[in-house]
Amino acid sequence: MSDRLEDIAHAMVQPGQGILAADESNGTMQKRFDPLGIENTADNRRDYREMLFRSEQAMNENVGGVILFEETLHQKAADGTPFVDIIKAAGAVPGIKVDQGVQPLPGHDGETVTVGLDILAENLKAYYDVGARFAKWRAVIAVDKSLPSWGGIRANAHALARYAALCQAAGIVPIVEPEVQMDGDPGDHTIERCHEVTAATLKAVFNELDEQNVKLEGIVLKPNMVVPGSNAAKQASPEEVAEHTVAVLKRHVPSAVPGIAFLSGGQSDLEATANLNAMNAGHSAPWALTYSYGRALQAAAREAWGGKPENLPAASKAFTHRARMNGLAAKGEWNEGLEAG
């Protein structure tokens, strides 16, 4: 694969392909495994992720990149093959989550800022040497009637831009992820409020990217879809979500960006697929509109597996189906009747 940032970014968002977010920390995996009665051991985490990465149809046809947790970036399959090599053999790009989580933002009650810039340059070099060619940094934007503040938006936008500049200096494509939360507290905001906050956030992010001389041709944007809060009295149809989301993006995201890979947030598997499909089926856009899903790609597979080796083929089948559905949605070719498969 070419080492040019723009070539790597385009490879991650080819038609019908998206990004598998397999970057759950060990603590998050505990939360995913506990309801299913799965022991959270290194071997179980390895076996589960090996099942995902060896699902050949899904990986070859519908996954352009895989976001890894640091443990997984260095991990090997049961036969000793590095996961990075398995991912590359499938034609996908290995990547790495690099932020160190969020902390309260001083002077801004209810808001956070993502941390980890102080150690990022050194870490990126090590990640590149192992094989990572893109990275991910998530900023969390809380939303209610009074939040976010402009200071909160600006602090997170600046951190995202600093991170992106450091990535590109290291030869790594940055996934820029400003997430306006749909499932925060109280999570009862309207789709119009999400539209307003998402617009302000994206405007600030791209202003900061410009200030830091980030090459837009060598990034992938990972935003939220414009949706009502998870506890809102009125929910929205896929067509409404598509109309609001594409309108915000067209106003605030330059056409130089190769691709937009949405996070699923608190959406169900079906909602995440239907909303993505509505964007691609009903709207034209200058960028690829695709997915960067974690739970919305993995939940069915994890449940089918249940920690039992004999269930790995069924889990792989469930993952392959979900990946195929989202691959079709990324081309505007999905319909609910296909879910019966």
Which structure tokens are listed for 233? Answer: 């009295």
What are the Cα distances from residue 97, in Å, to 33, 41, 125, 134, 225? Answer: 20, 20, 14, 9, 21
User: What type of residue is 232?
Assistant: A
Selected catalytic residue, list 50, 70, 111, 177: 177
Going through the chain in order, the beta strands assigned E by DSSP cover 18-22, 63-68, 93-97, 102-104, 112-114, 134-141, 173-180, 220-221, 259-262, 288-293
Question: Helix, strand or coil for residue 108?
Answer: coil
Q: Return d(Cα 71, Cα 65) in angstroms, integer.
A: 17
- Report the 10 Å Cβ neighbour count for 71: 17
222 part of the active site: yes
Q: Which of 50, 97, 111, 222 is catalytic?
A: 222
Distance CA 278, CA 297 (A): 18
215 noted as active-site residue: no
Burial 48-60 (b: 16+ CB within 10 A, else e): bbbbbbbbeebbe
Please give the positions annotated as active site. 177, 222
